[in-house]
Structure formats: C-alpha cells, structure tokens
Amino acid sequence: MTTEPSSEPTPRPARSKGLLWAVVLLVLAAAGLLWGASALSWVGQQYRTPFGTQVAAGITGEDLRPELVPMALASLAAVAAVLATGGWLRRVIGALIALAGVLLAWRVYQQFSSGWFAHGTAGGVPPGSTPIGAASSQPFGPLLMAAGALLLFAAGVVVAFRAGRMPAMGAKYSAPGVAKQKSHDPDRQMWNDLDAGRDPTDDQDR
C-alpha cells in the first residue's frame, strides 16, 4: 500500500520589522530635510533702501519652492499610511512616495538649470529698495531638497517592492510565531487564514 507524500505549504518569507522602521526613518528624515530646505536662504542679495542705507536680505526655499512645506507634511502623512496599510495598498503608497521623490528631484533640476537666484523676492526689504550688485547663490537649501527627494525615492521603492516583507501595524498584526485564535465564523476564519498566508481550502492547515 502506497501513500502519497503530503504536500507541505511553501513557507512565507519572514516579515522584518527592521525593514519597516528603516523605511519610516527614511521618510521622516526626508520630511525634515524638506522642511529645513524651506527655511534656509537660497539667495543672498544686498539692497539700498530709500533712506540711503544698505541691508542684506535672503530669499528662502519656501519663497522659491512653495511646495516644500506641503511635501514635508505629506511625507509625515505617508509614514502613517505605510504603517497602517498592507498588501497592494501599501505598494501603491510606496509608488506614490517614489513618484514624489522623482518630482522633487525634477524641481531641483529645474531650479538649478534656470538659475534659482533669478527668481523670487527677498522678504523684509523696505519698499522702494534697489538691489546692489549680483545675487549670491547659497546651495545648501537646494542640496537639502535634493537629499530629501533621494530619500523619498529610496523609501518608496523599498515599500513598493518589499511590502510583503514588512508587517502591518494595524489591529490585525500579530508577532511572528503567534497564531491567531480560530473563529467559529467560517467567513472570519477564512480571512484569518488568508491573512496568515494559509490556504483556507486546505484542511491540513486548519
């Protein structure tokens, strides 16, 4: 009498909380860099006021790139979205984060190629003041913006392609090795099996 070998379910890759928190830190760092870029002066300019005095003023990143603060806030919202979602929805969010990084990098390129010192108006200058000499570019703000864009792109790519390796932090998340209690409701049990990576039609897994 021969018996057919029982087919063992293919083990799912272990979910890594470290990978999830690495993505969270990347996005938080990107938000901080974008916020810092908005506050820094990108352009320095000397002005002669109508009273005959000279004042130095700067044009901040928020003046030149108004999208910096909204993108920093959106990055913070993306952290919550990544933590709360899973599966294909998390992959979509990762793709959106990566797209945001690409768009910001493109804006940095446009700013450099068009000469960012040629646009924008310095704040705190008395009306009627005239610029003296050429404006001086200060690259630290644009560099912070570029670094933030790179971090967003990297985090988005990781989320989009490694979403299945990261645990969901919602109510249904349980630590690896801790089995969920079986439900007396067949429909609820089916969803529990799917969430745990088991085939709900396989009695051996049940």
C-alpha 180/C-alpha 192 separation (Å) is: 7
In degrees rounded to 5, what are phi and psi of residue 47? -130, 150
177 pLDDT exceeds 50? no
99 within domain boundaries: yes
Give the pLDDT confidence of 20-37 residue by residue, as tens digits. Answer: 899 999 999 999 999 999
115 within domain boundaries: yes
10 within domain boundaries: no
What pLDDT was estimated at residue 99?
96
186 within domain boundaries: no
C-alpha 72/C-alpha 35 separation (Å) is: 6
175 within domain boundaries: no
DSSP letters spanning 52-82: S-EEEEEEEHHHH-TTHHHHHHHHHHHHHHH
The 10 Å Cβ neighbour count of residue 34 is 29
CATH number, position 69: 1.20.140
25 within domain boundaries: yes
Task: Give the range of the structural domain holding residue 33, as residue numbers without chain letter.
Answer: 17-169
What pLDDT was estimated at residue 100?
95
185 within domain boundaries: no
Q: Which helix (H) or strand (E) holds 151?
A: helix 140-162
Give the pLDDT confidence of 97-121 residue by residue, as tens digits. Answer: 999 999 999 998 887 776 655 555 5
Give the pLDDT confidence of 142-153 residue by residue, as tens digits. Answer: 999 999 999 999
Calculate ∠ Cα 85-145-140, nearest 5°: 150
Give the pLDDT confidence of 38-65 residue by residue, as tens digits. Answer: 998 888 777 777 777 777 677 888 888 8
Write down the mean pLDDT value for the chain: 76
Report the domain count for the chain: 1
